[in-house]
Amino acid sequence: MSEYLLEMKGIAKQFDGVRALDGIDLKIRAGECVGLCGENGAGKSTLMKILSGVYPHGTWDGDILWDGKPLVAHSVRDTEAAGIVIIHQELMLVPELSVAENIFMGHELTLPGGRMNYPAMYRRAEELMRELNMPDINVALPVMQYGGGHQQLVEIAKALNKKARLLILDEPSSSLTTSEIAVLLKIIKDLKAKGVACVYISHKLDEVAAVCDTISVIRDGKHIATTPMEELDVDRIITQMVGREITAMYPSRDHEVGEIVFEARHVTCLDVDNPRRKRVDDVSFSVRRGEILGIAGLVGAGRTELVSAIFGAYPGRCEGEIWMNGARVDTGTPLKSIRLGLCMVPEDRKQHGIVPDLSVGQNITLTVLKNFSRGTRIDGEAELKTVHEEISRMRLKTASPFLPITGLSGGNQQKAVLAKMLLAHPKVLILDEPTRGVDVGAKAEIYRLIAELAKQGVAVIMVSSELAEVLGVSDRVLVIGEGKLRGDFVNRDLTQEMVLAAAINQSLPQRTRTATPSTA
Amino acid sequence: MTSTISTRNGAANTTANIKQLFSRYKIMALLIAIAIIWAFFSWKTEGGFVTPRNLSNLLRQMSVTGILACGMVLVIIAGEIDLSVGSLLGLLGGVAAILNVTHNLPLPLNLFLVLALGLLLGLFNGYLTAYMRIPSFIVGLGGMLAFRGVLLGITGGLTIAPVSSDLVYLGQGYLPASFGVALMIVLFVLALALTWRQRANRIRHALPVPPLWRDALKVALIGAVLLAFVRTLNSYDGIPVPVLLLLALLGLFSYITTQTVFGRRIYSVGSNMEATRLSGVNVQSVKLWVFGIMGVMCALAGLVNTARLAAGSPSSGNMGELDAIAACFIGGTSMRGGSGTIYGALIGALVMASLDNGMSMLDVGTYWQMIVKGSILMLAVWVDVSTRSGR
């Protein structure tokens, strides 16, 4: 029995001759939670894919000792058998199947003849839910009926059911609400007490600081430092991550706010699947020239629905009026909105932001490609000139604009998506979670850019789940709760507690608990 | 450090290198495949396969599939599929024959009407797919049956013949030898100019420039192929009219896909439709017009087919969609949309036509021909898939 549950020594990995990891060491004791920090592209995900067997033994260099013995894993199944379970940032659930069926995915309990043993699975699933302090969950309901936060808990239950001794959580809180994050952190602490070790990967350093015992920082594929949490604070972690000190995360707010340029009146959106349910319920608000309006609220409150309805991208039915510069306008489709100077950077970068088969440059010019055409032909020279300008303005890090966009880190992809929309010269710019999955350095640059735009007179509407960000950047904050407007605050002496209180005001989550369907 | 990695992963690296080579020089791989196929058939037919007469024949046979593949590759890049093209080709070819034989319409008017009808029916398919949101697979399946049904109805199940000689010229005519030589010179100068411009552009934008000898070799190779192409065809009857048409389409469609806004949008729509829509592109209209172009290609293919057979047959174009789709996939078009090239699809069509022609010469049974073609398609896609996802 060794002192450590897991020892990774000198891990190195190359992709097409590019060294992604270069001699990383990582040691974890049983019951310890290690925070793995680093900017996007530092190599965290690669390291965890090696540990979890996604990259099989032999495709990388170095040694892994598990319980003091060498671990040779050829697939994820091997590492799961050993007790290493990874929970990916994107949830791996089948939305149509029930909570219990998801928990037992691949390890179903069966009756003779291969029939599913539903009673036993439901019993065990309910037990797990009680362990996770979520007894309200009906394990027979399809997973898609629950929000992102609860789905994350289902993932954890799934891992626990596999008798995990080491749980890898990759950005587990990126789609969770504040209260759900508190639950998640409590669960991790409980698991630690039971001797389960954790690797916690997150850009939200306050969470890392709250739950981790040790912090390992990697940068550019190299191990920078491993330090007990007692000797650290968030600022020092950031310094280690970026290798320089970030003096001001948020830019100063010294731009002038002008007249009202944008108004949304009585916006109502109906749920796509269930038209009786209102996702957004009669929301009206206005934004002024040069104003940064933050929209806060819990996940699932209807913020994304609200802004995509305004932009003309909401898939379901919606009603309401949009006024710009005192005149009613039609923003029925994204094309119409963009022509009016109303642009949006969507929340889900991978699904709605980037076009994976196009190059960095081609992604940037997607919206305004027509401007470069002479007759039928695209003027490649003019296009490239603009692309180079945007790349330097955004400080976008890419070796060449001709490279595929999928090769960029999350932060740089986001900058490319932003550049694409800025080229359309927006008068009103909607940013939906502009810094999700973006590293600290790129975050500060995005904030700087937002402030710059406001200074130029653009009205910015920013939806964000990070309250610190909302309060750090916005002039005014709207709070949405259960599809309704719950508050409209000028951002002066405003605190996170005040926003949160407005967001959860009178809104204890309702959950209809139906009888367990008799499936067997 | 590096040496330990390379020794430990030596075997893995070799496979990885082969995979890389394959994906980077896919076109070379395809050309090598064609060379092997041709060499095999020449050996088996004791040189009969590579006579000017047969090669001329081969290219004419390929033209119908090639014309369809030009349109199909756009449809597939846009993330859709069109299964109705075989039937639509048959229908439009049949209409052309009826207008010609029964109604004695002058050729220009006939061409205009058939092409317009092709465009309309293509747009109709596109409308159903893009605006009515019926999956293109289903639209194609429905069209496949319905168009064939209409064709059987209007021809009464009979072959319409004989079509007039000016229409026949479209499928069976040859261009004079002097035209071939002029064409060769023009194309060679074009290749030279394009390569030169590409080099100049790369130098201007500080991109890595391939060594001069490689570009020179490339141009020399193109020249050699052009020379062989024109000399071979001229030593028979000259360049066939449908082959010239195919060359023109190759140029036009390559221009559309690489140089125009519409072309860029086709790739963008196929790669990520939602992101493209949110970027302010009218994705429905892009799809509509891609299907419209496919319809026009069906009309052209139908005209050439009718002209080649000198008759409108109720069964013509049968399984044409499969040849066209196979040509696209053999030519490296991605199955999930977003990437593919015109020249790739045409080389794919050449592979299919070579197999058809060679096996017919060897008197291989129809059933064997089908088995071989099916296997080649699966082999090509397997190579594509296994080299694409290699990591």
- Domains of chain A, by residue range, sit at 6-242, 260-504
Please say if the pLDDT value at position A506 is more than 60. no
Cα–Cα distance for residue pair B214/B236, rounded to 1 Å: 33
pLDDT surpasses 50 at A518: no
| CATH for A260-504 (3.10.20.30, 3.40.50.2300, 3.40.50.300, 3.40.190.10) | 3.40.50.300
Amino acid found at A186 = K
Signed CA dihedral, B99, B104, B105, B111: sign only: positive
| A403/chain B closest Cα distance in angstroms | 12
CB contacts of A378 in chain B (<8 Å) are 259-261, 264
The per-residue pLDDT for B26 is 74
Within chain B, strands assigned E span none
Q: Does residue A284 carry a pLDDT above 90?
A: yes
- Asked whether this chain's domains A6-242 and A260-504 adopt the same fold, the reply is yes
Distance CA(A517)–CA(B48), nearest Å, equals: 72
Question: Residue A358 is nearest to which of B12, B262, B271, comparing CB atoms?
Answer: B271
What's the confidence (pLDDT) of residue B199? Answer: 87
Are the beta carbons of B12 and A58 separated by less than 8 Å?
Answer: yes
Q: Residue A511 has what pLDDT?
A: 34
Q: What is the pLDDT of residue B75?
A: 97
What the block records as the tokens of A481 is 């709760």
Contacts of A346 in chain B (CB under 8 A): 275, 278
Assigned token pair, A476: 């005014």
Q: What is the mean pLDDT of residues A194-223?
A: 88
Considering only CB atoms, A356 lies closest to which of B201, B261, B271, namely B271
Q: For every residue of A386-416, which 3-state class applies, written as one string?
A: HHHHHHHHCCCCCCCCCCEHHHCCHHHHHHH
| A253 confidence band (pLDDT: 50, 70, 90) | confident
- Asked if B206 is an interface residue toward chain A (Cβ–Cβ < 8 A), one would say no
Average pLDDT over residues A471-499: 89
Q: What confidence score (pLDDT) does residue A90 get?
A: 72
Selecting from 3.30.1120.130, 3.30.430.20, 3.20.20.140, 3.40.50.300, what CATH number does the domain A6-242 have? 3.40.50.300
Helix ranges, B78-164 (H):
85-101, 107-126, 136-155
The distance of A100 to chain B (nearest Cα, Å) reads: 32
CB-CB under 8 Å, B1 with A376: no
List of domains in chain B: 36-173+240-385 (1.10.3470)
Per-residue pLDDT of chain B (391 residues; tens, 9 = 90+): 333 333 344 444 566 566 666 666 777 888 888 999 999 999 999 989 999 999 999 999 999 999 999 999 999 999 999 999 999 999 999 999 999 999 999 999 999 999 999 999 999 999 999 999 999 999 999 999 999 999 999 999 999 989 999 999 999 999 999 999 999 999 999 999 999 988 888 787 777 788 888 889 989 999 999 999 999 999 998 999 999 999 999 999 999 999 999 999 999 999 999 999 999 999 999 999 999 999 999 999 999 999 999 999 999 999 899 999 999 999 989 888 898 999 999 999 999 999 999 999 999 988 998 899 899 889 888 877 777 654 3
The answer to whether residue B20 neighbours chain A at the CB level (below 8 Å) is yes
Q: A141: distance to nearest CA of chain B, Å?
A: 30
Helices (H), A300-404: 303-311, 334-339, 360-364, 380-393
- Choose the mutation target among B269, B272, B274, B279 for the interface with A, i.e. most A CBs under 10 Å: B279
Give residue-wise pLDDT tens across range B349-371: 999 999 999 999 999 988 998 89
Share of chain B above pLDDT 90, in %: 76
What per-residue confidence (pLDDT) applies to A516? 37
Number of cross-chain residue pairs from A and B with Cβ atoms under 8 Å apart: 98
Secondary structure element (H or E) that encloses residue A465, with its range? none
pLDDT at B334 (0 to 100):
87
Q: What is the mean pLDDT of chain A?
A: 86
Per the CB < 8 Å rule, is A59 touching B282?
A: no
Backbone angles phi, psi at B342, to 5 degrees: -70, -50
Judge contact between B281 and A335, C-beta under 8 A.
Answer: yes
Query: With bands split at pLDDT 50, 70 and 90, how would you rate the model's confidence at A454?
Result: very high
pTM: 0.80
B148: enclosing H helix or E strand? helix B136-155
Under an 8 A CB cutoff, do B1 and A12 touch? yes
CA distance A28 to B310: 79
